[in-house]
Every structure is written in C-alpha cells, then in structure tokens.
Amino acid sequence: MACRGPPVSSSVMRSALELWLVRHGETTYSASKRVAGWSDPPLTDNGRRQAEALRAVIDGRRFEGVWSSDLLRAVESARLAWGEPTTDRRLRECDFGDLEGCTYEEADSTYGEVFSEFRDFEAPGGESHEAFRSRVHDFVGALDPGAHLLFVHGGVIRVLTQDLGLDRFIPTGSVVGLDWATREVLFLREGGNSEATD
C-alpha cells in the first residue's frame, strides 16, 4: 500500500507562484514616443542592449517556465536576455486600436485617461481594459506553481501590478518580481529610459 502525506492545500500551492515580469527593450515606437499596442515595431540598438543587460539579472535563476508575448519585440528581448521562450498571445499588450501609431501627446490630448488611469476604458477601435485584464489574468491563473519568467509589455505589467501599489508604466528593460499568492511586489529593477505603453 502506498503512503501519502497530508493533502496540499490550495493556499500552499498558490503561495509557490512567483512571477518575474520583464518589459521588453526599447523599440522604434517607444524611442519616438508612439503608442504600439498590437503593432510590432522592432527593437532599437538601445533596446537590444537593454535586453542583453538583463541576462546579468536573471542568469543562474531557475524557472519553471519562460514565456513571452508573441510580438517580436518581446520574443527578441527574451532571446537576447535568456533564450527561446514559449510564446502566448494572451501576453500581448493591450490592443489600443485607433491610438496605435499616435504620439503619446496626440493620444493623451484626447484619451489621456486611458494611460493615466489605465482602468475602465475601451480603446477606440481596440480592446477594453476588462477584456485585456481578463486575458492576462487567465494566463497567470493557468501557470503551474514555481517561478516563471515572462517577457511582456508595459500594459501587461501594469495590469498585474496596479492593485499592488505599483500603478504606473515602468521603463523598457525593467524587471518586476511578484509573489502572486500574497499579491506583493518583491522587487523592481528599472532600466531604460522610456515609460510608455508598448
């Protein structure tokens, strides 16, 4: 007869989930202060350097999974900082619809609340905050226990941290660590010089 230990409670299982959220390197859009969303601008030389610099931060760490948005700027950042990721469309930036390609100034003059509040909005011709938040949380809710490394976008990081005391867009090339069970920000290593939504 096989012996089993006591059942593991769901709270213990949840407490084992740690997220390392990496914002991709600078892109041609973020360098020129433009909204990217589902558009797929390439990394700049500076963006590639930012991604390569992340290797020193994450090197030697063990992760249960290494994930990326399927957009090229996130995939390339993952390859430069770590290696080949598993891509998932749920990790894409918010679809900003008609605002994509606009300068931040143009977007803010009409839809400033989308970026400043980043709650309860529907991007014109794009995605609602509720739909965006739901798909990102759906991805995280399906992860196995352990530490996971995610190469994502400013909006993805913000939608995961905005109720944890970190409610702003972080610069490109930054890393945020979360204990997802306790909803705590463990660390923030800022890099780059862009604070935009791409």
CATH of the domain at 158: 3.40.50.1240
**pLDDT surpasses 80 at 112:** no
What is the pLDDT, as a whole number, of residue 76? 98
Number of domains in the chain: 1
- pLDDT at position 9, please? 41
Domain holding 144, by residue range, is: 18-189
User: Tell me, what's the pLDDT at 15?
Assistant: 52
pLDDT at 13: 43
Residue 40 domain-assigned (yes or no):
yes
Q: Is residue 13 part of a domain?
A: no
In terms of Cα–Cα distance, which of 100, 105, 70 is closest to 84? 70
E strand spans, 31-136: 65-68, 86-87
The better pLDDT of the pair 93, 194 is held by 93
102 inside domain: yes
9 within some domain: no
Reduced to 3 states (helix: H, G, I; strand: E, B; else coil), residue 17 is strand
Query: Active-site residue 93, yes or no?
Result: yes
Q: 86: which strand partners?
A: 67
In a domain, 168, yes or no: yes
Picking from 2-11, 127-136, 161-170, which range would have the lowest pLDDT averaged per residue?
2-11
Distance linking the first and last C-alpha atoms of the chain:
56
Looking at the predicted structure, is the pLDDT value of residue 143 above 70?
Answer: yes
Query: Which of 18, 26, 93, 127 is the catalytic position?
Result: 93
Q: Which is it for strands 17-23 and 175-179: parallel, antiparallel or unpaired?
A: antiparallel
CA distance 80 to 60: 15
The CA distance from 193 to 40, in Å, is 20
- For residues 50-70, give the mean pLDDT: 96
- Mean pLDDT along residues 113-130: 88
**Catalytic annotation present for 137:** no
Residues 6+ apart with CB under 8 A from 31: 44, 46, 47, 194
User: 4 pLDDT exceeds 50?
Assistant: no
Of 101 and 2, the structure prediction assigns the larger pLDDT to 101
What percentage of residues in the chain have a pLDDT greater than 90? 76
Mean pLDDT on 82-98: 97
Instruction: Kindly name the residue from 24, 129, 148, 153 that is annotated as catalytic.
Output: 24
Burial 103-142 (b: 16+ CB within 10 A, else e): ebeebbeebeebbeebeebebeebbebeebbebbeebbee
3-state secondary structure of 106: helix
Residue 72's φ and ψ, nearest 5 degrees, are -55, -40
pLDDT at 18: 97
* 10 located within any domain: no
Between 44 and 4, name the one with better pLDDT: 44
Amino acid at 25: G
12 lies in a domain? Answer: no
Tell me the average pLDDT of the chain. Answer: 89
150: in domain: yes
